[in-house]
Amino acid sequence: MAVAVIGKKPITQGFRLIASHIDCPRLDLKPNPLYEDMGLALLKTQYYGGVKKYQWVSRPLALCGTISRGDGSVVDVEMGLKPDEPVFTIPDLLPHLARKQMEQKASEFIPGESLNLIVGSTPYSSEETDERVKLKVLELLQRKYNITEEDFISAEIQVIPAEPARDAGMDRGLIAGYGQDDRACAYACFTALLDTVNSEHTAIAIFFDKEEIGSEGNTSAQSRFLEMFLADLMENTGTEPSSGNLQKAFFCGRALSADVAAAIDPTYADVYEKRNDAKLGYGIALKKYTGRGGKSQASEANAEYTGWVRRLLNSKGVVWQAAVLGKVDEGGGGTVAKYLANMGMETIDCGPPILGMHSPLEVSSKDDIWMCHRAFKAFFGS
């Protein structure tokens, strides 16, 4: 999705764009998910994005998504998020019988094919059929959503943590909740756009999908969607959306790649670089570059643009910190920044530091998210 506030200057003189992504690491249902085994109905899943599989067992889970029915109609599905609704779960093996499991590596002791979600346990009333527990689940789905088993094939259903976000810490300074990578940025970006009026440049908030699996496909940052959106804006503001004008706009455009940063976790301090990594509660983290090792796959903002952003934040009293992603040889990662930069825009990564990133319960600081809102607002108004 993209939203814009039209500015005073024509788009060919540049724009202010903030890109976040609204997909999160999770489990997806497979195309043929439903089966019955030992008197239980289960759903087969496939994990999406960088997850530690063992974090998804023994916790309350919900189902969310969209199903395209056989007749072409579409229905949204949501089960397990409201407090009075049933939840789903993937039980872990009891410790009494887990001797072999406990000897395996963390990446292997919950194999992908073991992420099977329990969704039913009571049989359908007729005794004349097999798989009566599965049939009962199908009956309930038919009644609630008017869907058949084949409809799962044309569905996008995500298995996500069922708990709501909560205040965390005795002082309530933190937020513990699922999906803050990157919805913390998406939220702050949207609230900043709502606060943007009479800006010099057109302000654009774009919310990408598929970032967690490498920005692939027609809803991702590598798609032509932004180009189409810009052409649309030009057409509606009296500028010919020629390829020359689009080029000009992109090369005069300024962007923030709004994505979370890794906050130093004091318990695992040895993988961080304490002089350069982000700290929770120290403001929005500016990441001049991402990537891994010798800046492989990095998108790096140049000195001038980094300086411009720094001065902008300082002039508006926004609390910020510089950040990298851990020790050089520990790992690394990327964002959508390089795809924006490839189109010609000046681009820098920024966002709130997060503890427990990509886990079902990520932790952020309220102060940092407030600073993101203020930074994004300053940027849109620049």
Interface residues with Zn ion (CB under 5 A)? 181-182, 259
113-122 as b/e, with b when 16 or more CB fall inside 10 Å?
A: eebbbebbee
Minimum CB separation of residue 82 from Zn ion in Å reads 27
Nearer to Zn ion, 24 or 137 (CB): 24
- What's the Cα-to-Cα distance from 256 to each of 286, 345, 353, rounded to whole Å? 10, 10, 16
What angle do the packed helices 243-252 and 225-236 form, to 10 degrees?
100
Minimum CB separation of residue 20 from Zn ion in Å reads 8
In whole angstroms, give the CA distance from residue 174 to residue 323.
20
Nearer to Zn ion, 184 or 231 (CB): 184
Q: By beta-carbon distance, which residue lies closest to Zn ion?
A: 182
In whole angstroms, give the CA distance from residue 41 to residue 136.
9
Task: Give the side-chain half-sphere CA count within 13 A for 37.
Answer: 9
Minimum CB separation of residue 32 from Zn ion in Å reads 30
Minimum CB separation of residue 376 from Zn ion in Å reads 16
In whole angstroms, give the CA distance from residue 381 to residue 192.
9
Nearer to Zn ion, 182 or 277 (CB): 182
The DSSP bridge partners found for residue 364 are 175
Minimum CB separation of residue 358 from Zn ion in Å reads 8
176-209 as b/e, with b when 16 or more CB fall inside 10 Å?
A: bbbbbbbbbbbbbbbebbeebeebebbbbbbbbb
Of 357, 341, 307, 21, nearest to 189 by C-alpha is 21
Nearer to Zn ion, 124 or 376 (CB): 376
3-state secondary structure of 129: coil
CB count in 10 Å sphere of residue 260 = 27
Which DSSP category does 146 fall into?
Answer: -
Backbone angle region of 131, left / alpha / beta, with phi > 0 → left and psi within -120 to 50 → alpha: left
Token output for 184: 């913390």
Minimum CB separation of residue 211 from Zn ion in Å reads 6
Minimum CB separation of residue 180 from Zn ion in Å reads 9
Phi and psi at 160, nearest 5°, equal: -130, 160
Minimum CB separation of residue 332 from Zn ion in Å reads 13
CB-CB contact of 321 with 286 (8 Å): yes
Minimum CB separation of residue 336 from Zn ion in Å reads 9
